[in-house]
Amino acid sequence: MAASKKKSPIEGHGFRYLLFFLLLYMVGSPFLAPYPSLAVLAHVSLSMVLFVAIYAVNKQQHHRSFAIALLLPLLVLYWLGIYNIIPFSRHGAYLLFSVFFGLLVYSYVWQIAHSHKVTLNVLYATFCLYLIIGLFWGSLYTLLNELSPGAYGGVLLDNIQDSPLHIFNYFSLVTLTTLGYGDITPQTAGAASLCQMEAIVGQFFTAVVVAWLVGMFVSDKRDEDRGEV
């Protein structure tokens, strides 16, 4: 009874909104990025994801404060890098993307782990966590490719006129789900190591997190049945 009265760390509609904007960005950006006149909309949708992601972060443990502190310099460097206004602004932006998404992963894991029962909000949060993990590794791939040109190769990386972040986000999700289409491949040992680690995390997520949610749901059902007797 005491556990059921504790305040859930996942409340409100933050993760519902975040899931909507994540799917909007991931589905829409590949169609917009190839066209210079429309590519700005892909960048705007990603910026919206960053804003809504902070709204989904719980205020406990100062996670939201840290995320807000990172967001402003991240957005400034990102938009400066899009138009190449300041040298190395892209490098700084991709580095901050990695830190920002890493913080989100930590915060969302904390919120899900401290949830006492499986609710619709917890399912939204779990789905968002999976996609944010994909964006986290996508930013790492992009940063590595900027620091070491040619670390990744493939037909999708030929003749890129805009930021490659959207393409590496796609590659990240393909790696996370272990699909391995082969349209982008690592060309160095370091690049291959990142892919290897993401594939392991993807398998761990499916095997452990999903099983944990199912186990918690079954436990909640048993507790409810015992209460009715």
Closest CA to 165 of 103, 101, 106: 101
Average pLDDT over residues 181-199: 94
Q: Chain-centre distance of CA 5, in angstroms? A: 31
Q: What's the pLDDT band for 229 if we cut at 50, 70, 90?
A: very low
211 versus 128: the higher-pLDDT residue is 128
Q: What's the pLDDT band for 199 if we cut at 50, 70, 90?
A: very high
Domain presence at residue 89 = yes
16: containing domain:
11-228
Give the C-alpha separation, 90 to 147, whole Å.
Answer: 10
User: CATH code at 15?
Assistant: 1.10.287.70
Domain presence at residue 115 = yes
Q: Is the pLDDT of residue 72 over 70?
A: yes
Average pLDDT over residues 179-202: 93
Domain presence at residue 43 = yes
Long-range CB contacts for residues 46-54, cutoff 8 Å, separation at least 24? 46/165, 46/166, 47/75, 47/78, 48/21, 49/18, 49/21, 49/22, 49/25, 49/135, 50/74, 50/75, 50/100, 52/14, 52/17, 52/18, 52/21, 53/18, 53/104, 53/132
pTM score, whole prediction: 0.90
Q: Is the pLDDT of residue 131 over 90?
A: yes
Number of separate domains in the chain: 1
pLDDT for the residue numbered 148: 93
Q: Nearest-5° angle of CA 111, CA 73, CA 129?
A: 25
Give the C-alpha separation, 49 to 20, whole Å.
Answer: 9
User: 228: burial class by Cβ within 10 Å (0-12, 13-18, 19+)?
Assistant: exposed
pLDDT for the residue numbered 227: 63
Structure confidence by residue, pLDDT tens digits, 86-119: 878 899 999 999 999 999 999 999 998 888 888 8
Residue type, 34: P
